[in-house]
């Protein structure tokens, strides 16, 4: 069993990129250390996975998950998974690609119903929400319709 200290931001970002990159239409899946300044023609749909935030509960002796009144430190890590569905061209084609790829990613998220979640031991729980987005890339000169998934990973 993985200890909470064995799970790093890099491990989680890589696990998300690998797991979600398996979606049939995703051509490129980038983790935090493989992000690029531009998106090459033909590389969409593309996803980028990176750490965004962190929260921690203090250790207390009055928790229901402790034995002999030992405290548990609960950590939450927020990751963004950005989907760049296609370069902006025709709104109906763009939105069709967004919808199709989002549905594939939702299926993969729904399949994460048993541990190890996303293939990463140590993740105790997770949650996700998503919203449609239009990303400006390459200094705002290129627009990509897509979605942003907010994935919260719980370690304790």
pLDDT confidence band for 139 (50 / 70 / 90): confident
Percent of residues in the chain assigned helix, strand, coil, to nearest 5: 25, 35, 40
Mean pLDDT calculated for residue range 144-149: 97
Query: DSSP secondary structure string, 55-118?
Result: EEPPP-S--TT-STT-----EEEEEEEEEE---SS-HHHHHHHHHHHHHHHHHHHHT--SSSGG
Q: What is the pLDDT of residues 32-79, one digit of tens each?
A: 999 998 899 999 999 999 999 999 877 654 555 555 556 677 899 999
Q: Give residues with Cβ within 8 angstroms of 144, minimum separation 6.
A: 39, 44, 84, 85, 86, 87, 88, 134, 135, 137
Instruction: Count structural domains, the chain.
Output: 1
Mean pLDDT of the chain: 90
Host domain of residue 124: 4-155
Looking at the predicted structure, is the pLDDT value of residue 119 above 90?
A: yes
Read off the pTM. 0.88
CATH of residue 147's domain is 3.30.2000.30
3-state secondary structure of 5: helix
Looking at the predicted structure, is the pLDDT value of residue 4 above 60?
A: no
pLDDT confidence band for 138 (50 / 70 / 90): confident
Q: What is the pLDDT of residues 106-116, one digit of tens each?
A: 999 999 999 99
Q: Closest Cα partner for 99 from 8, 25, 36?
A: 25
């Amino acid at each position: 069993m993985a200890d909470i200290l064995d799970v790093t931001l890099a491990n989680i970002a890589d696990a998300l990129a690998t797991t979600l990159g398996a979606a049939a239409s995703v051509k490129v899946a980038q983790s935090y250390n493989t992000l690029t300044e531009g998106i090459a023609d033909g590389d969409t749909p593309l996803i980028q996975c990176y750490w965004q935030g962190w929260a921690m509960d203090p250790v207390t002796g009055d928790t229901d998950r402790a034995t002999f009144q030992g405290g548990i430190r609960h950590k939450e890590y927020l990751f963004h998974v950005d989907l760049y569905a296609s370069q902006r061209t025709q709104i109906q084609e763009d939105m069709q690609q967004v919808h199709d790829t989002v549905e594939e990613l939702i299926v993969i998220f729904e399949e994460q119903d048993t541990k190890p979640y996303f293939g990463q031991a140590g993740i105790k729980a997770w949650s996700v929400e998503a919203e449609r987005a239009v990303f400006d890339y390459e200094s705002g000169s290129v627009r990509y319709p897509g979605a942003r998934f907010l994935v919260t990973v719980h370690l304790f």
